[in-house]
């Protein structure tokens, strides 16, 4: 009997060892087949542009096809759930922004995935800095004038956003808190229609990401007042930061990173991170990102995870304090 038990145990250990060896070998050779890259937004937007800008040189660097697959819906949760439920082998990855990894878990009481337990950070690919814009005919030329006008007309002015719970929405809510102003939120389905209405004067203001708003700003269709960034932007060097305007706490950006399914081997994550960062740092890719309005990053999985942790603390408090909910 003891002999049989020992034999069975030895067999189990042997199978386990073989399985681990095979998994490690697979991780060390990653990728060995096509990588499917889910983007939780329709084709043509900033996240889609970023994924496609990186996907082609990533495919050339790895020798494997990288298929960009747009899966919009559910405030990014449809693509997030599909990634969370995929095999944890690095062959299904996701473009994840603040909504996916930070905001949703505070905005929804019953979220269908857990951003901490179900998704594994790979790298922060880029930042889309937020800019406060107003109608060119508003008569407002600075953050100080904007705050003064809203305080003189509490609850009478409004601002557009790319949608409830979007980085654009919450960036303006942050400014409202910091400046003590009362301005009404008008959510749109995407940044483009909101931008058009700011340009036309139907809404008075908006926090817009540089990628979406650069064309409107440079053509004079809207007036930019300040950027919610730690430093001025190379693309708009004349534009002051909110800190320069006296609002040091107003820093906000759409943060777009890549995540994989939780449980993906660390070696696979490390190999994918290395290749991604190499692509982001390629001069041609870097320039393409900057020209589009994206601040390239490319950090380590640990740095990205730490950033997300800090962002959750900051934004969850704001969402809770303001009692913002989407369900």
If asked whether residues 268 and 208 sit together in one domain, one would say no
Distances (CA, A) of 315 to 99, 186, 190, 235: 11, 20, 21, 27
Residues 6 or more apart whose Cβ sits within 8 Å of residue 117: 262
Residue 294's CATH number? 3.40.190.150
Residue 168's CATH number? 3.40.190.10
- The total number of structural domains in the chain stands at 2
Whether residue 26 is contained in a domain is answered as: no
- Give the per-residue pLDDT at 327: 84
Bridge-based pairing of strands 205-209 and 295-296 is: unpaired
Per-residue pLDDT tens over the stretch 240-249: 999 999 999 9
Q: What is the dihedral of CA 260, 265, 270, 273, to 10 degrees?
A: -10
Low-confidence ranges of the chain (pLDDT < 50): 1, 3-4, 7-9, 13, 15-23
Per-residue pLDDT tens over the stretch 88-120: 999 999 999 999 999 999 999 999 999 999 999
Whether residue 100 is contained in a domain is answered as: yes
| Dihedral sign, Cα of residue 131, residue 78, residue 276, residue 59 | negative
Residues 6 or more apart whose Cβ sits within 8 Å of residue 208: 130, 131, 133, 162, 168, 191, 194, 195, 198, 216, 222
Residues 6 or more apart whose Cβ sits within 8 Å of residue 168: 130, 161, 162, 191, 194, 206, 207, 208, 209, 254
If asked whether residues 138 and 123 sit together in one domain, one would say no
If asked whether residues 171 and 202 sit together in one domain, one would say yes
Residues 6 or more apart whose Cβ sits within 8 Å of residue 227: 129, 130, 131, 132, 210, 233, 236, 239, 240, 241, 242
Per-residue pLDDT tens over the stretch 19-40: 444 445 567 899 999 999 999 9
- Give the per-residue pLDDT at 190: 86
If asked whether residues 120 and 134 sit together in one domain, one would say no
**Average per-residue pLDDT in the chain?**
92
If asked whether residues 90 and 166 sit together in one domain, one would say no
Whether residue 104 is contained in a domain is answered as: yes
Domain residue limits at 307: 34-128+254-321
Q: Is 251:315 a contact under the CB 8 Å cutoff?
A: no
The pTM for the full model equals 0.88
If asked whether residues 80 and 103 sit together in one domain, one would say yes
Q: Using DSSP, state whether 100 is helix, strand or coil.
A: helix
Whether residue 75 is contained in a domain is answered as: yes
Distance CA 153, CA 156 (A): 5
Whether residue 265 is contained in a domain is answered as: yes
If asked whether residues 124 and 137 sit together in one domain, one would say no
If asked whether residues 121 and 262 sit together in one domain, one would say yes
Whether residue 180 is contained in a domain is answered as: yes
* Cβ neighbours of 257 (radius 10 Å): 29
If asked whether residues 223 and 136 sit together in one domain, one would say yes
- Give the per-residue pLDDT at 1: 46
If asked whether residues 69 and 113 sit together in one domain, one would say yes
């Amino acid at each position: 009997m003891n002999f049989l038990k020992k034999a069975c145990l030895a067999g189990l250990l042997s199978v386990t060892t073989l399985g681990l060896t095979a998994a490690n070998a697979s991780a060390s050779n990653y990728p060995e087949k096509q990588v499917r890259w889910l983007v939780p937004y329709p084709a043509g937007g900033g996240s889609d542009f970023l994924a496609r800008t990186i996907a082609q040189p990533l495919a050339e660097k790895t020798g494997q096809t990288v298929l960009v697959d747009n899966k919009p819906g559910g405030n990014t949760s449809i693509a997030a759930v599909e990634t969370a439920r995929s095999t944890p082998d690095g062959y299904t990855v996701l473009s994840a922004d603040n909504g996916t990894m930070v905001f949703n878990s505070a905005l929804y009481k019953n979220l269908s995935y857990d951003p901490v337990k179900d998704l594994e950070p790979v790298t922060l690919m880029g930042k889309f800095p937020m800019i406060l814009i107003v109608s060119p005919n508003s008569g407002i030329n600075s953050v100080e004038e904007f705050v003064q006008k809203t305080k003189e007309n509490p609850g009478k002015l409004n601002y557009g956003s790319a949608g409830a719970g979007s980085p654009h929405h919450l960036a303006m809510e942050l400014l409202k808190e910091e400046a003590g102003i009362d301005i009404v939120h008008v959510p749109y389905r995407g940044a483009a229609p909101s931008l058009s209405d700011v340009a036309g004067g139907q809404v008075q203001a908006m926090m817009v990401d540089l990628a979406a708003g650069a064309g409107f700003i440079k053509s004079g269709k809207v007036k930019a007042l300040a950027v919610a960034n730690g430093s001025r932007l190379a693309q708009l060097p004349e534009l002051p930061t909110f800190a320069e305007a006296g609002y040091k706490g107003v820093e906000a950006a759409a943060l777009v990173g890549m995540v994989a399914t939780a449980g993906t081997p660390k070696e696979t994550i490390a190999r994918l991170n290395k290749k991604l960062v190499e692509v982001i740092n390629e001069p041609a890719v870097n320039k393409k990102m900057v020209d589009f309005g994206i601040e390239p990053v490319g950090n380590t999985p640990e740095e990205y995870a730490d950033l997300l942790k800090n962002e959750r603390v900051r934004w969850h408090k704001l969402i809770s304090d303001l009692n913002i909910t989407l369900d």
